[in-house]
Amino acid sequence: MSYASYCQDQATACARRARLASSPEIVAYCRNLQFRWLRLAAQAQATGGALGRESAPAASLGDTTAATCPVRYGKRAGELIARGARSLHSTLRQKKFEAERCVR
């Protein structure tokens, strides 16, 4: 699986989450993520998967800070984004509950 196709898959998942979301804030958040993933996919296709700046030096074989696999890095980033969306959803739900409690 290429990084570009991984980004496409993530964009599709974000679109699905947006369709299933009950809150307009979550829909907007997921749509924003969807377009960010699509932009990354387009960049990956245009550069053949290399998303660094052209002026940035390439990672050497001895560089231990470089990501070992862009797909794994992208997957981890996707997991963190999904966790953030879930956290945002629970925060919004809690605020809604507190607002309803204050009205009563």
Higher pLDDT residue, 12 or 72? Answer: 12
With cut-offs at 50, 70 and 90, classify the pLDDT of residue 11. Answer: very high
User: What whole-number distance in Å separates Cα of residue 28 and Cα of residue 20?
Assistant: 12
Gap between the Cα atoms of 78 and 19, Å rounded: 18
**SS3 letters for the chain?**
CCHHHHHHHHHHHHHHHHHHCCCHHHHHHHHHHHHHHHHHHHHHHHHCCCCCCCCCCCCCCCCCCCCCCHHHHHHHHHHHHHHHHHHHHHHHHHHHHHHHHHHC
Q: Is 56 a member of any domain?
A: no
Q: Which domain holds residue 97?
A: 3-48+70-103
pLDDT average, residue stretch 22-43? 90
Q: Is the pLDDT of residue 12 over 90?
A: yes
> Is 64 in contact with 48 (CB distance < 8 Å)?
no
Q: Is residue 54 part of a domain?
A: no
The answer to whether residue 57 sits within a structural domain is no
Higher pLDDT, 10 or 73: 10
Number of domains in the chain: 1
65 found inside a domain = no
Q: Is residue 94 part of a domain?
A: yes
Please report whether residue 61 resides in a domain.
no
Domain membership flag for residue 53: no
